[in-house]
Amino acid sequence: MASKTKKTVIETPLDGGTFVSLQKSSIDGDLSMESKLFLLYKLQQTDSKIDQIHLLRGELPLEVQDLEDELSGLNTRLENLKVELKEIEKGIAQQKIMMENAKALIEKYTQQQGNVKNNREYDSLSKELENQDLEIQLCEKRTREGTLLMAEKKELYANTEVALKERGLDLENKKKELDSIIAETAKEEEELEKYSTSIQNQIDARLLAAYKKVRGNARNGLAVVTVRRDACSGCFNKIPPQRQMDIASSKKIIVCEYCGRILVNTEFEGE
Protein backbone atom coordinates (compact mmCIF):
# COMPACT_ATOMS: atom_id res chain seq x y z
CA MET A 1 0.00 0.00 0.00
CA ALA A 2 1.46 3.32 -1.05
CA SER A 3 2.18 5.76 1.79
CA LYS A 4 0.52 9.16 1.74
CA THR A 5 2.69 12.26 1.56
CA LYS A 6 2.19 14.47 4.58
CA LYS A 7 1.72 18.17 3.71
CA THR A 8 4.06 20.50 5.56
CA VAL A 9 2.34 23.44 7.26
CA ILE A 10 4.38 26.64 7.25
CA GLU A 11 4.52 28.42 10.60
CA THR A 12 6.17 31.77 11.18
CA PRO A 13 8.58 31.56 14.13
CA LEU A 14 8.99 34.47 16.49
CA ASP A 15 11.37 34.33 19.45
CA GLY A 16 11.03 30.58 19.64
CA GLY A 17 7.23 30.62 19.34
CA THR A 18 4.63 30.55 16.57
CA PHE A 19 1.40 32.32 15.67
CA VAL A 20 -0.33 29.51 17.56
CA SER A 21 1.45 30.52 20.75
CA LEU A 22 0.63 34.14 20.03
CA GLN A 23 -3.08 33.52 19.82
CA LYS A 24 -2.99 31.45 23.00
CA SER A 25 -1.15 34.20 24.88
CA SER A 26 -3.58 36.85 23.65
CA ILE A 27 -6.78 35.25 25.01
CA ASP A 28 -6.63 37.36 28.15
CA GLY A 29 -6.09 40.59 26.17
CA ASP A 30 -8.51 43.52 26.05
CA LEU A 31 -9.27 43.09 22.34
CA SER A 32 -10.95 40.11 20.73
CA MET A 33 -9.03 38.07 18.18
CA GLU A 34 -11.32 39.42 15.46
CA SER A 35 -10.47 43.00 16.49
CA LYS A 36 -6.76 42.21 16.45
CA LEU A 37 -6.98 40.62 13.03
CA PHE A 38 -8.93 43.61 11.74
CA LEU A 39 -6.28 45.98 13.14
CA LEU A 40 -3.60 43.93 11.35
CA TYR A 41 -5.57 44.17 8.12
CA LYS A 42 -5.98 47.95 8.48
CA LEU A 43 -2.28 48.26 9.26
CA GLN A 44 -1.46 46.28 6.11
CA GLN A 45 -3.72 48.50 3.99
CA THR A 46 -2.11 51.64 5.40
CA ASP A 47 1.44 50.36 4.97
CA SER A 48 0.63 49.29 1.40
CA LYS A 49 -0.50 52.84 0.61
CA ILE A 50 2.81 54.14 1.98
CA ASP A 51 4.59 51.57 -0.21
CA GLN A 52 2.73 52.92 -3.24
CA ILE A 53 3.92 56.45 -2.46
CA HIS A 54 7.51 55.19 -2.22
CA LEU A 55 6.99 53.31 -5.47
CA LEU A 56 6.10 56.58 -7.21
CA ARG A 57 9.60 57.80 -6.46
CA GLY A 58 10.95 54.74 -8.25
CA GLU A 59 14.73 54.60 -8.48
CA LEU A 60 15.13 58.36 -8.03
CA PRO A 61 16.46 58.19 -4.44
CA LEU A 62 19.06 55.61 -5.49
CA GLU A 63 19.94 57.61 -8.61
CA VAL A 64 20.41 60.74 -6.50
CA GLN A 65 22.64 58.83 -4.07
CA ASP A 66 24.68 57.35 -6.93
CA LEU A 67 25.18 60.80 -8.48
CA GLU A 68 26.22 62.27 -5.14
CA ASP A 69 28.76 59.46 -4.71
CA GLU A 70 30.02 59.99 -8.26
CA LEU A 71 30.40 63.74 -7.68
CA SER A 72 32.32 63.07 -4.51
CA GLY A 73 34.64 60.73 -6.45
CA LEU A 74 35.15 63.30 -9.22
CA ASN A 75 36.00 66.03 -6.69
CA THR A 76 38.51 63.70 -5.06
CA ARG A 77 40.03 62.96 -8.46
CA LEU A 78 40.39 66.69 -9.19
CA GLU A 79 42.13 67.27 -5.88
CA ASN A 80 44.52 64.39 -6.55
CA LEU A 81 45.23 65.70 -10.06
CA LYS A 82 46.02 69.14 -8.63
CA VAL A 83 48.58 67.58 -6.31
CA GLU A 84 50.08 65.51 -9.15
CA LEU A 85 50.34 68.56 -11.44
CA LYS A 86 52.14 70.53 -8.75
CA GLU A 87 54.58 67.65 -8.23
CA ILE A 88 55.22 67.41 -11.99
CA GLU A 89 55.79 71.17 -12.24
CA LYS A 90 58.15 70.98 -9.29
CA GLY A 91 60.03 68.10 -10.91
CA ILE A 92 60.39 69.97 -14.25
CA ALA A 93 61.64 73.08 -12.44
CA GLN A 94 64.24 70.97 -10.60
CA GLN A 95 65.44 69.46 -13.89
CA LYS A 96 65.86 72.94 -15.38
CA ILE A 97 67.90 74.03 -12.38
CA MET A 98 70.08 70.94 -12.71
CA MET A 99 70.62 71.70 -16.42
CA GLU A 100 71.67 75.27 -15.64
CA ASN A 101 74.09 74.01 -13.03
CA ALA A 102 75.50 71.48 -15.49
CA LYS A 103 75.95 74.17 -18.17
CA ALA A 104 77.71 76.41 -15.65
CA LEU A 105 80.09 73.58 -14.77
CA ILE A 106 80.75 72.88 -18.45
CA GLU A 107 81.71 76.51 -18.95
CA LYS A 108 83.93 76.38 -15.88
CA TYR A 109 85.68 73.15 -16.87
CA THR A 110 86.16 74.39 -20.45
CA GLN A 111 88.00 77.47 -19.14
CA GLN A 112 90.10 75.32 -16.83
CA GLN A 113 91.15 73.11 -19.74
CA GLY A 114 93.01 76.09 -21.22
CA ASN A 115 95.18 76.33 -18.12
CA VAL A 116 96.05 72.68 -17.50
CA LYS A 117 99.67 71.73 -16.89
CA ASN A 118 99.55 68.09 -17.87
CA ASN A 119 97.52 65.45 -19.69
CA ARG A 120 96.22 63.98 -16.48
CA GLU A 121 94.42 67.21 -15.54
CA TYR A 122 93.17 67.59 -19.09
CA ASP A 123 91.76 64.04 -19.15
CA SER A 124 90.11 64.59 -15.76
CA LEU A 125 88.40 67.79 -16.95
CA SER A 126 87.34 66.07 -20.17
CA LYS A 127 85.69 63.34 -18.10
CA GLU A 128 83.85 65.93 -16.04
CA LEU A 129 82.70 67.69 -19.20
CA GLU A 130 81.39 64.37 -20.53
CA ASN A 131 79.54 63.65 -17.27
CA GLN A 132 77.90 67.07 -17.26
CA ASP A 133 76.90 66.67 -20.89
CA LEU A 134 75.24 63.35 -20.01
CA GLU A 135 73.56 65.05 -17.05
CA ILE A 136 72.10 67.68 -19.37
CA GLN A 137 70.82 65.00 -21.74
CA LEU A 138 69.20 63.13 -18.82
CA CYS A 139 67.58 66.34 -17.54
CA GLU A 140 66.27 67.14 -21.01
CA LYS A 141 64.78 63.64 -21.28
CA ARG A 142 63.10 63.91 -17.88
CA THR A 143 61.82 67.38 -18.76
CA ARG A 144 60.25 66.08 -21.99
CA GLU A 145 58.67 63.16 -20.12
CA GLY A 146 57.38 65.50 -17.42
CA THR A 147 55.96 67.88 -20.01
CA LEU A 148 54.14 65.06 -21.79
CA LEU A 149 52.81 63.72 -18.50
CA MET A 150 51.66 67.19 -17.50
CA ALA A 151 49.78 67.55 -20.79
CA GLU A 152 48.02 64.22 -20.16
CA LYS A 153 47.15 65.19 -16.59
CA LYS A 154 45.84 68.58 -17.70
CA GLU A 155 43.66 66.92 -20.34
CA LEU A 156 42.36 64.46 -17.74
CA TYR A 157 41.74 67.36 -15.35
CA ALA A 158 39.76 69.25 -18.01
CA ASN A 159 37.70 66.15 -18.87
CA THR A 160 37.02 65.55 -15.19
CA GLU A 161 35.83 69.14 -14.79
CA VAL A 162 33.43 68.66 -17.72
CA ALA A 163 32.16 65.40 -16.23
CA LEU A 164 31.77 67.07 -12.85
CA LYS A 165 29.69 69.86 -14.37
CA GLU A 166 27.51 67.41 -16.32
CA ARG A 167 26.91 65.17 -13.30
CA GLY A 168 26.18 68.25 -11.22
CA LEU A 169 23.42 69.26 -13.64
CA ASP A 170 22.09 65.69 -13.67
CA LEU A 171 22.02 65.67 -9.87
CA GLU A 172 20.27 69.03 -9.73
CA ASN A 173 17.57 67.82 -12.15
CA LYS A 174 17.10 64.51 -10.32
CA LYS A 175 16.81 66.31 -6.99
CA LYS A 176 14.22 68.69 -8.39
CA GLU A 177 12.23 65.76 -9.77
CA LEU A 178 12.47 63.88 -6.47
CA ASP A 179 11.62 66.96 -4.41
CA SER A 180 8.60 67.58 -6.62
CA ILE A 181 7.29 64.06 -6.07
CA ILE A 182 7.97 64.23 -2.33
CA ALA A 183 6.22 67.61 -2.10
CA GLU A 184 3.14 66.22 -3.83
CA THR A 185 2.87 63.23 -1.51
CA ALA A 186 4.46 64.58 1.70
CA LYS A 187 1.18 65.48 3.42
CA GLU A 188 -0.51 62.21 2.50
CA GLU A 189 2.54 60.19 3.55
CA GLU A 190 2.74 62.02 6.88
CA GLU A 191 -0.94 61.31 7.61
CA LEU A 192 -0.55 57.66 6.66
CA GLU A 193 2.56 57.31 8.83
CA LYS A 194 0.68 58.77 11.81
CA TYR A 195 -2.28 56.48 11.17
CA SER A 196 0.04 53.46 10.85
CA THR A 197 1.68 54.37 14.17
CA SER A 198 -1.69 54.77 15.88
CA ILE A 199 -2.73 51.29 14.73
CA GLN A 200 0.58 49.77 15.79
CA ASN A 201 0.12 51.20 19.28
CA GLN A 202 -3.07 49.15 19.61
CA ILE A 203 -1.48 45.85 18.58
CA ASP A 204 0.31 43.47 20.92
CA ALA A 205 4.09 43.89 20.60
CA ARG A 206 4.76 40.23 19.72
CA LEU A 207 1.96 40.12 17.18
CA LEU A 208 3.24 43.36 15.64
CA ALA A 209 6.76 41.92 15.48
CA ALA A 210 5.39 38.83 13.73
CA TYR A 211 3.57 41.04 11.21
CA LYS A 212 6.73 42.99 10.47
CA LYS A 213 8.75 39.79 10.11
CA VAL A 214 6.32 38.34 7.56
CA ARG A 215 6.06 41.68 5.76
CA GLY A 216 9.83 41.96 5.57
CA ASN A 217 10.10 38.52 3.98
CA ALA A 218 7.27 39.10 1.49
CA ARG A 219 8.40 40.34 -1.92
CA ASN A 220 5.42 42.70 -2.31
CA GLY A 221 5.26 43.70 1.35
CA LEU A 222 1.95 41.88 1.92
CA ALA A 223 1.82 40.16 5.31
CA VAL A 224 -1.98 40.19 5.79
CA VAL A 225 -4.25 39.07 2.94
CA THR A 226 -7.78 37.85 2.36
CA VAL A 227 -9.06 34.79 0.51
CA ARG A 228 -10.27 35.53 -3.02
CA ARG A 229 -11.79 32.94 -5.32
CA ASP A 230 -10.95 30.23 -2.77
CA ALA A 231 -7.23 31.13 -2.90
CA CYS A 232 -4.72 33.11 -0.87
CA SER A 233 -4.53 36.56 -2.47
CA GLY A 234 -0.84 36.68 -1.64
CA CYS A 235 0.43 33.53 -3.36
CA PHE A 236 -2.81 32.44 -5.16
CA ASN A 237 -2.69 28.87 -3.86
CA LYS A 238 -6.01 27.18 -3.11
CA ILE A 239 -7.36 27.26 0.47
CA PRO A 240 -9.44 24.24 1.64
CA PRO A 241 -13.13 24.98 2.45
CA GLN A 242 -12.78 24.08 6.14
CA ARG A 243 -9.82 26.39 6.50
CA GLN A 244 -11.80 29.16 4.79
CA MET A 245 -14.53 28.72 7.41
CA ASP A 246 -11.94 29.05 10.17
CA ILE A 247 -10.59 32.22 8.53
CA ALA A 248 -14.09 33.68 8.24
CA SER A 249 -14.78 33.02 11.92
CA SER A 250 -11.77 35.19 12.94
CA LYS A 251 -11.32 33.12 16.09
CA LYS A 252 -7.61 32.45 15.66
CA ILE A 253 -4.56 33.45 13.64
CA ILE A 254 -4.33 31.38 10.48
CA VAL A 255 -1.40 31.56 8.08
CA CYS A 256 -1.17 30.35 4.49
CA GLU A 257 0.57 26.99 4.50
CA TYR A 258 2.30 27.90 1.22
CA CYS A 259 3.56 31.48 1.72
CA GLY A 260 3.22 32.07 5.48
CA ARG A 261 1.03 35.18 5.14
CA ILE A 262 -1.68 35.90 7.70
CA LEU A 263 -5.13 35.13 6.27
CA VAL A 264 -8.11 37.25 7.42
CA ASN A 265 -11.85 37.46 6.83
CA THR A 266 -12.79 38.71 3.35
CA GLU A 267 -15.48 40.88 4.93
CA PHE A 268 -12.73 43.10 6.34
CA GLU A 269 -12.33 44.54 2.84
CA GLY A 270 -15.77 46.14 3.03
CA GLU A 271 -15.35 47.68 6.49
pLDDT in tens, 234-254: 899 999 999 999 999 989 889
pLDDT (tens digit per residue) in 52-79: 888 877 788 889 999 999 999 999 999 9
pLDDT at 157: 95
Long-range contacts of 245-253 (CB under 8 A, 24+ apart): 250/33, 250/34, 250/37, 250/38, 251/33, 251/34, 252/23, 252/33, 253/19, 253/20, 253/22, 253/23, 253/33, 253/37, 253/207
pTM: 0.54
Going by their DSSP bridges, the two strands 224-228 and 262-264 should be labelled as parallel
pLDDT (tens digit per residue) in 21-39: 455 544 445 788 999 999 9
Mean pLDDT of all residues in 85-112: 94
Long-range contacts of 232-241 (CB under 8 A, 24+ apart): 232/256, 232/258, 232/259, 232/261, 232/263, 234/259, 234/261, 235/259, 235/261, 239/263
pLDDT at 22: 55
Q: How far apart, in whole angstroms, are the C-alpha atoms of residue 89 and residue 95? A: 10
19-57+199-270 has CATH 1.10.4080.10 classification: no
pLDDT at 29: 55
Q: How far apart, in whole angstroms, are the C-alpha atoms of residue 196 and residue 98? A: 76
Q: How far apart, in whole angstroms, are the C-alpha atoms of residue 13 and residue 15? A: 7
pLDDT at 3: 43
Q: How confident is the model at residue 19 (pLDDT cuts 50, 70, 90)?
A: low
- Provide the CATH topology of domain 60-184: Helix Hairpins (1.10.287)
- Strand ranges, E, within the chain: 224-228, 231-232, 254-255, 262-264
HSE-CB for 74 with a 13 A CA cutoff: 19
- The mean pLDDT of the chain is 86
Domain ranges of the chain: 19-57+199-270, 60-184
Listed residue (192, 211, 189, 237) closest to 38, CA to CA: 211
> Do the first three CATH levels of 19-57+199-270 and 60-184 match, i.e. the same topology?
yes
